[in-house]
A and B are shown apart, each in its own frame.
Chain A
């Protein structure tokens, strides 16, 4: 089976053709560099994405803290991961880099805070 992909490793955006047989990549063409080939090999079998979103904060200056997975997770797991994250809540203060959840859905990825949220004080009007 042949699949067409647009490479997003760099701005050139090569149009790649990947040949896949029973879950194995047979060939990659259209790429101009090695990064393109690596991207295609992963993307054709199991696309991986970093997931950025927010987690509820209790008692913070902001209602949410922004978070991301510390490494890419399988794209197919994103809906499930969002379901799990919706159920989370973290008590303020939150530190940047703080681990909110470990081994998200068994992927080995941690969910980490990408900003600090201090404890209540004056509720922020502008956030920024």
Chain B
């Protein structure tokens, strides 16, 4: 049995990991230079409760199930996860019935613990939200994580369980004969396979077309964000939603795992070909700030350290496209719009362990270990453990990223685990993610990458081919 998973975002990564529970070969293909650099890299990082999705949708079903899996998953993968809870705020009388509707919808979906809180209670828990708030729907199961960290950890764990990872290798063709998948093609070669899982994110339509399928139909929905520095920590403690507008969940204010505050996203539908339109726009950024100010009027925008945009794969039916397709052996995990991150573990479990197991008669391996140990975050360790690490390797005492207190030891370990680029190091260690945004550490991370990889600094990139960090030498 040989399965190709296409796309190493959080969905593909978790599916590949589940498939590694079974005997056979699992190949994971990713067009980018690293894991989680598509949709996964730039979204809100929310593990949703499941009250936003209509009960008839596939989204609703997998969102509630996925949410319940996150604690266990993140414990196994040693990834940060925090159940912060969330409020949906009613800021006008017209919005009050919307909270009731959401609660009823959530309860029908099986979301636990939903409560409507009074103005007083909302303000006592979240003193910085708009004092005009009339009431808030409280959802205690909503959480936050780092989506890229989930994807990276899942891939690391899958690699330890036999995964074959193909980075910077784009699928260029899929050979189908007698309505059965035969092989996948890339510029590097041809790979005969028994099954293909299409988890190609924004490009899932292209991949499906290679197999002769007309579904999914996708278009990108752009979401712009503003990130505030840790100095804003505590501005809100839970995820703050506005009452829903219909199209999307609106512009939110939420804490990030490492103490920052994230504002956004916008929801701008782009033409299907704009799959790489991750630029921010003046209109988008001002929408973010206006929307966020509505929820939290005293926004410390002087503490903004980063703006960015991400694309979500949206489809006309506004729902995931999952499971078998008219082509035998071709499985879909596509149109993974919000709440894709939340649903991903449940989808992976269902697709691998229910659908594919029975159809492909997969056999459990004896040797699968679900446990992955993360790169030590020394600054979060008890002092004695950190000291012990420094004694074994003094590089764990040499701090390179001063803002987030990331050591040379952690960066070297990230490189050992597959980081090849500046962003690869950043997403694995948070080095360069802090207040100075790399002004003090970019040159030193570059030097470590060059040294560890045995390459010239000119060959080190920010995010793979075509993005070199420097252009040459002062004195060649």
Contacts and interface: CB of A to CB of B under 8 A. Distances in A.
User: Do the two chains belong together in a single complex?
Assistant: yes
Interface of A: 54-56, 63-64, 86, 89, 123, 125-126
- Of listed B400, B444, B448, B475, residue having the most chain A CB within 10 A: B475
B447 interface: yes
- Of listed A54, A56, A89, A126, residue having the most chain B CB within 10 A: A126
Q: Kindly list the 8 A-B residue pairs having the minimum CB-CB distance in the complex, ordered from nearest.
A: A56-B475, A125-B447, A125-B444, A126-B444, A54-B474, A64-B475, A64-B474, A125-B448
A54 B448 contact: no
Interface string B84-108: 0000000000000000000000000
Given A63-B474, A125-B444, 7 more contacts: A54-B475, A63-B475, A89-B475, A123-B447, A125-B400, A126-B443, A126-B447
B302 to A, nearest CB: 29
B179 interface: no
Contacts of B448: 125
Contacts of B408: 125
Nearest to B444: A125
B471 to A, nearest CB: 15
A25 to B, nearest CB: 38
Nearest to B440: A126
Interface of B: 400, 408, 443-444, 447-448, 451, 473-475
Contacts of A125: 400, 408, 444, 447-448, 451
A123 B456 CA distance: 14
A125 to B, nearest CB: 5
A86 B472 CA distance: 14
Contacts of A55: 475
Contacts of B444: 125-126
A123 B473 CA distance: 17
Contacts of B443: 126
Nearest to B447: A125
A22 to B, nearest CB: 41
B475 A86 contact: yes
B190 to A, nearest CB: 43
A93 B195 CA distance: 62
22 contacts: A54-B474, A54-B475, A55-B475, A56-B475, A63-B473, A63-B474, A63-B475, A64-B474, A64-B475, A86-B475, A89-B475, A123-B447, A123-B451, A125-B400, A125-B408, A125-B444, A125-B447, A125-B448, A125-B451, A126-B443, A126-B444, A126-B447
A68 to B, nearest CB: 15
Nearest to A54: B474
A55 B474 CA distance: 9
B336 to A, nearest CB: 40
Nearest to A56: B475
B476 to A, nearest CB: 9
A125 B395 CA distance: 12
A80 to B, nearest CB: 17
A127 B400 CA distance: 13
B439 to A, nearest CB: 13
B453 to A, nearest CB: 14
Contacts of A126: 443-444, 447
Contacts of A123: 447, 451
B191 to A, nearest CB: 40
A118 B338 CA distance: 56
